[in-house]
Structure 1
Amino acid sequence: MSSLTNQNIFTVSRLNAEVRLLLENEMGIVWLIGEISNFSAPVSGHWYLTLKDSRAQVKCAMFRGNNRRVTFKPQNGNQVLVKARLSLYEPRGDYQLIIESMQPEGDGRLQQQFDELKMKLAGEGLFSQSDKKPLPEHPKCVGIITSKTGAALFDILDVLKRRDPSLPVVIYPTMVQGEGAAIQIAQAIGCANSRNECDVLIVGRGGGSLEDLWCFNNEILARTIAASQIPIISAVGHEVDVTIADFVADMRAPTPSAAAELVSRDNSHKEQALIARQHKLASAMRYYLAEQKSHSVSLLHRIERHHPSYQLQRQSQQLDDLESRLNRAMSQFIALRGQKIERQQYKIQLQSPVKQFAEQRTRMQRLEQKLLDAMDRKLLNARHQLAIGAEKLDTVSPLATLKRGYSITQTAQGHVVTQTEQIKTGDTLVTRLSDGEVRSTVI
């Protein structure tokens, strides 16, 4: 005992605060699949629920700002995929998840697999523009890897026939949908490289759902495209459809017809060269923007963990919890009072003559009414005090200060500017207003 110091002894509050910070900083963002149960949506607009599987469960909270983006109405029994950060509700010591996004399990899992593979391949440099092979300026033979019965093949052939009928074409028919399609496409690319009869390949199909196009998000196919010695144009779906094959290919065409225009010559071949460069530039910009978006999301998560609104969210959850406890306590109190009254009435029935019973019953009814009136006043007063507390909390909120016309200025590194000596000419400043932020440069 003599070796203990004040620093070694924790209070319960300090312990819970340390555990919360440990969970939030060490675990970061997690993806979780589970079944919804005990779903509730109080008047505060926040959602509280439990995610469970066959052997375990975890409590979750999804605050109003995040649940507004959910495109479906969660119900008990729904299987969902959520993105959340681990936390701890300090007043009760409950370990919980703070949900940031929620999707039905099927669509969400495919999108998660897409994002994970995209991040993995991007980290390995497979999307790097410096490794892209240039398309031949005047192709001598074009290879087409697609379904032999699909509309994409006929669209490509129609464009080539109209623009450059003399251009030789080799078709490598494959499946472009379903199990085994990705392997067949990869094998066709390998076959075209080994035969070396074409100097450019078009790989693609027509539009469809995420599941229809899923074979073009296959890791083996992506690595095969990247390793191809023959330049490859990805022409999958419509312009709005984006696959992993589009990022890995040497060129991405918005449609199969557009791919055919890229490889064919006509009287406006200079214009086509310009279009090709535009597509290459657009592809590079999409990759750059995707990288910047990923970096911004990472920074945003780091900022959110220290943002005042996060503290407000925890306090709002505590208010919901206190209101729920107050309602349960009042209901229990009223129920106990009612039981006591029933016991008194029973005693009167056993011990009193008819006249006394009538008088006592009248008296008990008056007492019961006074009790109910007192309870109503007590409940009204409790609600009033709760409203006053919420109003006081709102008056000290940084967001309320921003709404009154004030602003918070930070450096690009996130430090709050309080003195002019903290900044110098050329620095970028971020000014936070009530409805957004303004970026400015010091001149």
Structure 2
Amino acid sequence: MSDSFLAQFGEEETCTVSEYTRRIKRLLEGSVGPEWIKGEVSNFRRQASGHLYFSLKDEGAQLPVVMFRGNASGLDFDFDNGVEIVVYGELSVYEPHGRYQLIARSAIASGQGRLHREFERLKKKLFEEGLFDKEHKKPLPLAPRRVAFITSPSGAAIQDFIRILKRRGWSGRLTVVPAKVQGLDASNSLQDALSLVLKVGGFDLIVLGRGGGSLEDMWCFNDEMLARALSISPIPTISAVGHEIDFSLTDFVSDVRAETPSAAAELISSAYIDVVSRIEYARDTIVDQAEDGIALSRRNLGDWATRLKAASPQRSLETAALRIDELSSRLLSVLTRELSRAKGELNQSKLAFGRLRPDRVASEYRLRINELAKRILDRMERKLALARHGLIETSGKFQSLSPKATLKRGYAILSEEDGKTISSVARLSKSKRLLATLSDGETWLRVNKSGNP
């Protein structure tokens, strides 16, 4: 408010917040008397002082209520969220916060709350239809890389979810699919988001959830149509609604229930970390096996090098020589033994000759001897012919290399008077006589003044 405005009307015509609130307090408290009010308990909390704070609500509205310790100590039933009660109290305005509330003086139980009764009814119905059966549950992917999270993008749940995934090193792709998670049309919003995810496809896992709240706040996750749509999803699903003590129908029909959105993030990242650990272990195992294989190959290579050295031609020849000597010795031994045996048989044969006809035996041996003599003679003649031929060839070669053959080709041999052969011009001197040997005789030569013969 500007200074000119205050100057025009005067500060005495304005009212402070406290004064205005007190007017409302007097107006409300004076016109609304004490009443018995029926409703369902939500947002309940018990202070250390013993005072009870909660809301009393039905389908259309809610009313803040406080019951002080003196009145709360007389309650004879379990007081908690979802309990339907009837409260007697009067209206009051709490001036520091500028809000009205009911000061409860007494309360009596009115049986289970309507929402709890509806939840149990739907739960029993879907259970009997088999939507909760384990055989309908799909296993979660070992390492999901593409995750769709259906939730409110402005809620704290998505921030905690992302923070945990980053902290634990998950490197997949997270798609946040916006949906209302509270209010009258929240269940339709969740169903539309689920239909969109299934239509787009390409996801490994679907997470549906939100943070904690009252039963009324999370009632959209108890919608029957949403539960049925979630139960037939071809993509594995995780329901992460509320806190650990909260349950909804989506928890029962989904493939896996996580106590909180943070727990769902830990579940996803744990599987990812496990796969990464297995891959690293497999990598280390492969490296170790490769190194062991290389070391073994090196040892085998050394062994083969030693074997190759042992199998060298020189070594093979040496081994063959030893083997030949061994075989020669064994052959000599065998021949000696066989010769001895043959001599024995010969002696036995000589004895047997006396019992046989000597003329026939002699005739047979004579024929064999003649045949052998002929074969030996033929073999000797062939060998002599080969020897003669070889001798003629060798003689021809020697003759072609003889000095006479060389002289016949026009060469001469020069020698001094003492018979020493001249092989260099440097040994020639003036008036010295030389003997020239030609192919058909010898003649004397003399060296002239120029040093030429």
TM-score (norm 2): 0.38
Q: Which has the larger radius of gyration?
A: 2
